[in-house]
A and B are shown apart, each in its own frame.
Chain A
């Protein structure tokens, strides 16, 4: 088991290295091919109508003229060990993990990410709790009452949930629940630590909106998995032993049909931690997703690189956790 975890950890680190290299290449290498010179890059950082001296100074400070490999080396060095930037008048130390400074706001990217993380975490964890509870229960009930009115209604709603984009359901719910009927306060994030109630109150609508989409997917997946499991030979065996139907379902069928969901949940969860872009934008939540979007729109390369890497870390870690959990849940994985 330990060997398995160590092996997976080493693999995860290697994967992250590859992802960082590819992302770096995409954002710093490809623009060069498309004709972006180091001068344009520096100009982006410098702001409006810079003098040639400023541009040269910026190029030097960020090493825009160095070969890509050297630039990537610097990036990795700063990421792992931290780095020092010479502004000409001052030396700024950027502590590890250093992802550089925003071209737009000149802020430390790591700090920006850390600022946004609690918002995205709050949004995603809350939504995940809702969609797991609702989606899985509906899926199980639908499978058990296959063909019933409940099943058909639930699957219709689920189809709608999967099809409707978040900016539609989100805006609709904002329009009615908040502005039309005044049932909930406007979405205005406040820290969980300062006031858990206003934290939850502000996030209910984003939670439900995001959870609606995922609950719909999970309901359909759970239903399909449950139906498949219920026709397995070992379910027939369980019944042949004379087990009550309740035991057959909860102990034999549920465990087997929910295990594959774990994989999908790990992926979704990790990916959303990197930013639930649509939900955040719809509800004006300043999370990682909206940061990434702003970075892309403003060609703010360090910010984009930082958000992409953060997302990659979350996805890789979530997958690692899922793999380890799988070993716990499914004995066949444990021994092979």
Chain B
């Protein structure tokens, strides 16, 4: 992209205000809001999310179902239908603002600069076209090459993601692949144009455990090879520990804790993160102590609880003398690179973590 064009995008309708603050990181999301007006009310799936991500780094976004993880990733790719989704905020990808850009401009970036790996590779691939055809298609949208060259590239990609006999499997249909192989093919398709940002939306959820590890290894190896930035969306903290550099914990469409993976596992500062850690099964404990699930269920995104959205399920909400029910805690940077949104005094949180939570994990 030429400088003129880039400048044009910068001055786009994202706002004069935005252009005044040029992004410092490769990917920078600022105050992203994705709302869906429905007959029952406004669904605030994502409500003010901000984060940054550099090339070669991995951000893990964790949270329960319905916390807005997938909506966020589709929002970055610009895949929400503008007729039924209200997207605001800013998404800066390599100096280009995406929320205000025209759909066609975003479309041209999709697949080439940012790509996505979906959860269920069987339903995410078209059943009527061969795997090769679908990779070739992805490559040829963005690269003006002959079918023959694209086919060679597709075979090459299939080989790189570890599919045996790629020159033969390229002509197979998705249903002829096993689950793990399908996910590899999906990854090959996503990486076919060498994207700098890769979003993986629960890439291992639909796979069995032995294959999960292989796929995670593959993603890590490919990241080293391509130096791409990865957003790993998951509800599996094991995956996060395995791959991520940073962790963003989402609850009810908002970020409740944003920190390095090390802090997230060893010094978490939000009761919800404690709950998530407690929800990881531990095989080395007595059966009755293996799981400590978070009580209750995630709130409706139409009627998010007043104050802290987590307060009805939080064991420590009572310590805040009613603030948890009345006032929404802001995301505050408590230590360098470690933010959390909670009313509890920092000292109190550290105390609870050391005395009550850590010993039970």
Interface residue count on the B side (C-beta < 8 Å): 28
- Asked if A179 is at the interface of the complex by the 8 Å CB criterion, the answer is no
Give, as a whole number of angstroms, the nearest-CB distance from A242 to chain B. 3
Q: Tell me the B residues contacting A by CB distance below 8 Å.
A: 74, 77, 79, 107-112, 115-116, 118, 120, 123-128, 130, 137-138, 141-142, 173, 175-176, 189
Give, as a whole number of angstroms, the nearest-CB distance from A104 to chain B. 52
**Inter-chain contact B128/A256, CB cutoff 8 Å:** yes
Chain A contacts of B138 at CB under 8 A? 241-242
- Asked if A52 is at the interface of the complex by the 8 Å CB criterion, the answer is no
Q: Contacts A233-B118, A234-B123 hold; do A255 and B110 have CB atoms under 8 A apart?
A: no
User: Which of A237, A255, A256, A331 is in CB contact (< 8 Å) with B124?
Assistant: A237
User: Which of B111, B123, B142 is in CB contact (< 8 Å) with A232?
Assistant: B123
Chain B contacts of A243 at CB under 8 A? 111, 137, 141
User: Which of B116, B137, B142 is in CB contact (< 8 Å) with A240?
Assistant: B116
Give, as a whole number of angstroms, the nearest-CB distance from A331 to chain B. 5
**Interface size classification for chain A:** 20 to 34
Chain B contacts of A331 at CB under 8 A? 127-128, 130, 173, 175
What is the bound-complex CA distance between A245 and B128, given in angstroms?
19
- Asked if A77 is at the interface of the complex by the 8 Å CB criterion, the answer is no
Besides A244-B107, A331-B128, 8 other A-B contacts (C-beta < 8 A): A234-B124, A236-B79, A240-B111, A241-B137, A241-B141, A245-B107, A259-B128, A335-B175
A-B contact count (CB 8 A): 73
Chain A contacts of B111 at CB under 8 A? 240-243
Cβ contacts A to B, 23 pairs, < 8 Å: A233-B118, A233-B120, A234-B125, A234-B127, A238-B126, A240-B79, A240-B115, A241-B115, A242-B107, A242-B112, A242-B142, A243-B137, A244-B107, A252-B126, A255-B128, A256-B126, A256-B127, A259-B128, A330-B127, A331-B130, A331-B173, A332-B127, A335-B173
- Asked if A329 is at the interface of the complex by the 8 Å CB criterion, the answer is yes
Give, as a whole number of angstroms, the nearest-CB distance from B195 to chain A. 10
**Inter-chain contact A242/B127, CB cutoff 8 Å:** no
**Inter-chain contact B110/A242, CB cutoff 8 Å:** yes
What is the bound-complex CA distance between A132 and B138, given in angstroms?
32
Chain A contacts of B79 at CB under 8 A? 236, 239-240
**Inter-chain contact B137/A236, CB cutoff 8 Å:** no
**Inter-chain contact B110/A236, CB cutoff 8 Å:** no
What is the bound-complex CA distance between A236 and B110, given in angstroms?
12
Give, as a whole number of angstroms, the nearest-CB distance from B331 to chain A. 29
What is the bound-complex CA distance between A138 and B130, given in angstroms?
30
Chain B contacts of A244 at CB under 8 A? 107, 141
What is the bound-complex CA distance between A239 and B124, given in angstroms?
11
What is the bound-complex CA distance between A256 and B123, given in angstroms?
13
**Inter-chain contact B189/A241, CB cutoff 8 Å:** yes
Closest 5 CB pairs of A and B: A242-B111, A242-B110, A233-B123, A241-B138, A241-B111
Nearest chain B residue, comparing its CB with the CB of A146: B83
**Inter-chain contact A242/B124, CB cutoff 8 Å:** no
- Interface of chain A residues 224 through 239 with chain B (CB within 8 A): 232-234, 236-239
Nearest chain A residue, comparing its CB with the CB of B122: A233
Chain A contacts of B173 at CB under 8 A? 331-332, 335
Chain A contacts of B127 at CB under 8 A? 234, 256, 330-332
Give, as a whole number of angstroms, the nearest-CB distance from B127 to chain A. 6
Chain A contacts of B118 at CB under 8 A? 233, 236-237, 240
Chain A contacts of B109 at CB under 8 A? 242
What is the bound-complex CA distance between A254 and B126, given in angstroms?
12
What is the bound-complex CA distance between A247 and B127, given in angstroms?
16
Chain B contacts of A332 at CB under 8 A? 127, 173, 175
**Inter-chain contact B128/A330, CB cutoff 8 Å:** yes
**Inter-chain contact A239/B110, CB cutoff 8 Å:** yes
